[in-house]
Structures are given as structure tokens and as C-alpha cells.
Amino acid sequence: MKEQGLKNVYDSEKFRERGHRLIDQLADHLEDKTTEKSHRAIHWNTPDEELRFWKDFLKNGEVDSMFSNMIARTTYVHHPHYIGHQVSPTAPLTALSGMISSLLNNGMAIYEMGMAPSAIERVVTDILCKKIGFDTNARGFLTSGGTLANLTALLSARKAKISHDVWNEGNSQQLGILVSEEAHYCVDRAAKIMGLGEQGIIKIPATDGYEMDVSQLESSYRNALKKGIHVFAIVGSAPSTATGVYDDLDAIAAFSEKYDLWFHVDGAHGGAAIFSEKYVHTVSGIDQADSVVIDGHKMMMMPTITTALLMREGKNANATFSQKADYLLTQEDHEDWYNSGKRTFECTKNMMSIHWYSMLKLYGESIFDDYLTHLYDMGGLFGEMIEKETDFELAVTPVSNIVCFRYIDPVMEMQDLNALNEKIRQKLLEDGTFYIVQTKLRTVHYLRTTIMNPLTTYAHLSLLLETIRKLATTILKE
Ligand SMILES: *Cc1c(COP(=O)(O)O)cnc(C)c1O
């Protein structure tokens, strides 16, 4: 029986009751996963099986088991065997702030629709700007994801560096950006949305170690100029997604300075290293950037989706979507920081700043150092473990918590090894004891792990290698 009537929808006692029950369920889930009472990181179902289940559930399922089914039939990011994609096991505190955002539903585009979270957003982004090493001209805002933030940054770059007003008048000139071939695909996508086309995405080759080969910057740039491409920006990855390797931001900063390019740092994953005493060196040069992206939902324990876009010159952020070309020069005194919709791509967004603020208030900045430092340490440790084994091989020595490796057998051909590692990963997925992912680097198939959970230990990683070894043996016997 469905509950009837709108009155029921807004019944505060029902909310209270259900809410208490749900919090208990979520806390049980958290306990089960973090203490490994349940052994699996994922209960794999095929998309078709899952679709069938939920179609049927809508007709025949018990309402009382709806939330518990939703919780159960997902991937368990809080399980120490979850070593897959780069989303955080959320700090449970931010699930609570998420609830505030969902219930209060202030749309944030203008100050009046989110007074506290707008002011809070200024507090939080000022802290991030300071941590990066920007001065007080810097400003930041929060937006819905690294993908959107990268696009927004490149739009700001175009506005700032191209003298004619592309935003209002369109463009007939071929514009371009420089970016490593290892950069996240969303940078390509952003450039294509901006109409740069394939031509305008000038790919800098990566070194054997997968970082941008900065020795090729000059020649790539000159080649682009020869073709009549007006290059206006360069993007550094901190780090690149596939391998977790950082580009040399100092070198890129110097290059961008020399040719007056906008320097954008895609720190969606590892920009949070600004908080780590031990690993801040990985982002050396970030203070020279014109814009920096940092995802809260990756290396900062927050729920999807919340991303900071920080700009060295705050006024550039105000100009991005401005209809008036001269806005940038005239509005110094009324920068209007509290109406975030002027600077964000999206109009409505959730009250995401309250996650950042809650973390800072309850745990302090040092919690971000603790989290990233520990996980990067674990990445290094896992790399050392793999190096010691004769039947495993690293793609590259890890410099973050992203570790790519594969199972090897000296008598096997490369094609067969690719197929073997692909099968290993599929069997791991179906088995569900561990959740890891995979990637192809220069035609070689690798298993890819990102250690996101501070509860993942040496013993778990050791068991993962042992599990893979056993699977490989079984597959080879088939
Ligand atoms: C994850 C990632 C992105 C995309 O960010 P989303 O928040 O998933 O949109 C962009 N760049 C890098 C380097 C990333 O790791």
C-alpha cells in the first residue's frame, strides 16, 4: 500500500522515525564494512540482473526493506578491500551535513538562497587559497565535480587571455591548449565543448614515467604557432588519473610565464597534497597557477560531489560568464562574492560547503594531512611489496596512492598477458572479495588500485596479491 496524500510526505514524525531507523542501518553498514564482518567489497550483479531486481522491487518489494536493499546492492567504499576508483570512503560526519543540504535544499545560486553556506563557502575557499600559497587577491568557489571545474577554469582562461570577446562574439580563430597525453579525458572534453577541436588540443608526450615531458614543450608550442593556432593555456595534472604521477608544475609554471599562457592545475585527485607536510613537494609550483581544481570527494573524505576551483586572481572568476566584456575592469568594489551563481557553471548546486566546514571545525586542517599522507605512504608501501615479487610487475613506481601493476609470467607473450590480467580483474569483480579496477597504458593491460581507505593495511594488500596469484593459476589451468 502506498502512503496517500501530500500531508504524509511532509509528516515530521514519520521523518523522525524513518530517519532514526536509517541512521541505525547506515551505522550498522559502516560497522560491518569497516570491521570486515562482511567479507566482500562488492556483491557483483550484471546490469541486467540489477535492472530486473529493481523493476520487480517497485511492484512487489517491501517498503521496509527498500533502504536496506539500496545500501546492500552497491559497492562498499568503506570496506578495506575496496581499492578501486578514486572516491573517498566518506567521513560519516559529512553524510550528516549531506542530510542538512538535502532537507534544507537552498539552491545556492544567489546569497538569499543559502546565506550560511554561501558565507561558509567563502571561509572554506579562502583557507584553500591560502594553503595553495595565493595572496589575498585570490578567490575560490565550489562546484559540481572536477570535470565541470576544469571546463570552468578553461573558460576563465579563454576570457582572460584571448583579447577578443569569444563569449559574446564567437570565434573564427583556431584556439588551443597544451596538455599532457596522460591528462584526464575531461580536459579533452572541455576543450571540445569550447570548440577547440582535435587541432586545438596540443598533446605533450609523456615520459617513460608517465609525466608530461616538459623538454618537448617548446617544440610543441612552436609547431602549434606555425599552424596558426593561438595557444592560451597549459594544463598540468596533479597527478594524472591513470598512474597517479604528477607533472612538473614548476617547469610548467616557468613555461606559462614565458609565453603568457594561463596555467591551470588539475589537482582533482591530488591537489589536497597542499595539506600534507610530507607530500606538499609533489605540488611544488602550484602557487604559480592561475587556477587550481581540488575534488573534495576524492582525497578529502567528502561525499560526491564537491569540487573547489581556486583562482589566483579572483576577478577572473567573476569575468568567466559575464555578459559584459568590461565587467572585469569596473566592478572591483562590488565583487559580489556571495552570489556564487555568477561564477559557477551550474545555476542550482547543493550546499556543499558545509561538508568542508564541518570537517575543518570538528577535526581541523590536520585531518586532511593525516588522510592523504597515510594513503600516499600506503601507495609507496604497496609499490615496494610488488617490486619484491617475481610474478608481479609495476607500471611505474607509485608517487601517490594510485598503484598500477600486473601479473606476469616470463614465458608468456604480451598479448596473452594482457588477456590474463583482464581475466583476473573480471574474476576478482565477480568474486567480490576485493574491488580493484584496470587500465591500459601504452598497449599494456594493468590492474589498477587506488588505496582510498585508511583502514586498508599491509595484510589486506598482501592478501590481494595472494588472491590474484591464485586466480592466475586457476585461469592458466582452464
Ligand atoms: C577524477 C578526476 C577528474 C574528474 O573529476 P570528477 O570530480 O570525477 O568530475 C579530473 N581530473 C583528474 C586528474 C581526476 O583524477
pLDDT, one tens digit for every residue, the chain (478 residues):
688 899 999 999 999 999 999 999 999 999 999 999 888 999 999 999 999 999 999 999 999 999 999 999 999 999 999 999 999 999 999 999 999 999 999 999 999 999 999 999 999 999 999 999 999 999 999 999 999 999 999 999 999 999 988 988 898 899 999 999 999 999 999 999 999 999 999 999 999 999 999 999 999 999 999 999 999 999 999 999 999 999 999 999 999 999 999 999 999 999 999 999 999 999 999 999 999 999 999 999 999 999 999 999 999 988 888 866 454 444 554 678 888 888 999 999 999 999 999 999 999 999 999 999 999 999 999 999 999 999 999 999 999 999 999 999 989 998 999 999 999 999 999 999 999 999 999 999 999 999 999 999 999 999 999 999 999 999 999 8
SS3 category, 66:
helix
Q: Which residue, of 364, 393, 409, is where some domain finishes?
A: 364
Question: Do the beta carbons of residue 76 and residue 36 sit within 8 Å?
Answer: no
CATH code, domain with 375: 3.90.1150.170
Ligand 1 binding pocket includes 264 (Cβ within 6 Å) = no
Counting from 1 in the atom list of ligand 1, the atom nearest the Cα of 237 is 13
Q: Please indicate, yes or no, whether residues 308 and 449 belong to a single structural domain of this protein.
A: no
For the beta carbon of residue 46, count every other beta carbon within 10 angstroms: 9
Q: How far is the CA of 109 from the centre of ligand 1 (A)?
A: 23
- For residue 205, what is the DSSP state? P
Q: Which of 241, 265, 282 to mutate to test the pocket of ligand 1 (most atoms within 8 A of CB)?
A: 241
Q: Please indicate, yes or no, whether residues 297 and 398 belong to a single structural domain of this protein.
A: no
Q: Please indicate, yes or no, whether residues 319 and 406 belong to a single structural domain of this protein.
A: no
> Does residue 21 sit within a domain?
no
> Does residue 154 sit within a domain?
yes
Q: Which residue, of 364, 379, 413, is where some domain finishes?
A: 364
Ligand 1 binding pocket includes 456 (Cβ within 6 Å) = no
pLDDT the model gives residue 361: 98
Q: Please indicate, yes or no, whether residues 326 and 398 belong to a single structural domain of this protein.
A: no
Name residue 442's amino acid.
Answer: R
SS3 category, 212:
strand
Q: Which structural domain, as residue segments, surrounds residue 413? A: 367-477
pLDDT the model gives residue 4: 86
Q: How far is the CA of 137 from the centre of ligand 1 (A)?
A: 26
Q: Which of 152, 185, 266, 309 to mutate to test the pocket of ligand 1 (most atoms within 8 A of CB)?
A: 266
Q: Which of 142, 144, 246, 269 to mutate to test the pocket of ligand 1 (most atoms within 8 A of CB)?
A: 269
Ligand 1 binding pocket includes 147 (Cβ within 6 Å) = yes
> Does residue 79 sit within a domain?
no
Counting from 1 in the atom list of ligand 1, the atom nearest the Cα of 297 is 7
Number of H helices, E strands in the chain: 18, 11
Ligand 1 binding pocket includes 211 (Cβ within 6 Å) = no
Q: What angle do the packed helices 366-388 and 353-363 form, to 10 degrees?
A: 90
Query: By alpha-carbon position, which residue is closest to atom 6 of ligand 1?
Result: 146
Q: Which residue, of 333, 364, 395, is where some domain finishes?
A: 364
Counting from 1 in the atom list of ligand 1, the atom nearest the Cα of 307 is 7
CATH code, domain with 285: 3.40.640.10
Extract the C-alpha cell encoding 213.
615531458
Q: How far is the CA of 187 from the centre of ligand 1 (A)?
A: 9
Ligand 1 binding pocket includes 266 (Cβ within 6 Å) = yes
CA distances 91 to 30, 67, 133, 473, Å, are 11, 20, 27, 38
> Does residue 78 sit within a domain?
no
Counting from 1 in the atom list of ligand 1, the atom nearest the Cα of 238 is 13
> Does residue 377 sit within a domain?
yes
pLDDT the model gives residue 430: 95
Query: Which candidate, 285, 44, 3, 265, places its Cα nearest to that of 149?
Result: 265
Question: Do the beta carbons of residue 182 and residue 212 sit within 8 Å?
Answer: yes
Q: How far is the CA of 96 from the centre of ligand 1 (A)?
A: 24
pLDDT the model gives residue 321: 87
Q: How far is the CA of 307 from the centre of ligand 1 (A)?
A: 9
Q: Please indicate, yes or no, whether residues 241 and 336 belong to a single structural domain of this protein.
A: yes
**What is the separation, in whole angstroms, between the first and last Cα of the chain?**
51
Q: Please indicate, yes or no, whether residues 223 and 263 belong to a single structural domain of this protein.
A: yes
> Does residue 90 sit within a domain?
no
Q: Please indicate, yes or no, whether residues 272 and 140 belong to a single structural domain of this protein.
A: yes
Q: Please indicate, yes or no, whether residues 323 and 428 belong to a single structural domain of this protein.
A: no
pLDDT the model gives residue 327: 47
Ligand 1 binding pocket includes 237 (Cβ within 6 Å) = yes
Q: Please indicate, yes or no, whether residues 296 and 387 belong to a single structural domain of this protein.
A: no
> Does residue 49 sit within a domain?
no
Q: Please indicate, yes or no, whether residues 316 and 376 belong to a single structural domain of this protein.
A: no
Q: Please indicate, yes or no, whether residues 395 and 315 belong to a single structural domain of this protein.
A: no
pLDDT the model gives residue 103: 97
Q: Please indicate, yes or no, whether residues 397 and 347 belong to a single structural domain of this protein.
A: no
Q: Among the residues of 307-444, which ranges form H helices?
A: 314-319, 327-330, 353-363, 366-388, 414-431
Counting from 1 in the atom list of ligand 1, the atom nearest the Cα of 86 is 1
Tally of domains within the chain: 2
> Does residue 380 sit within a domain?
yes
Q: How far is the CA of 154 from the centre of ligand 1 (A)?
A: 15
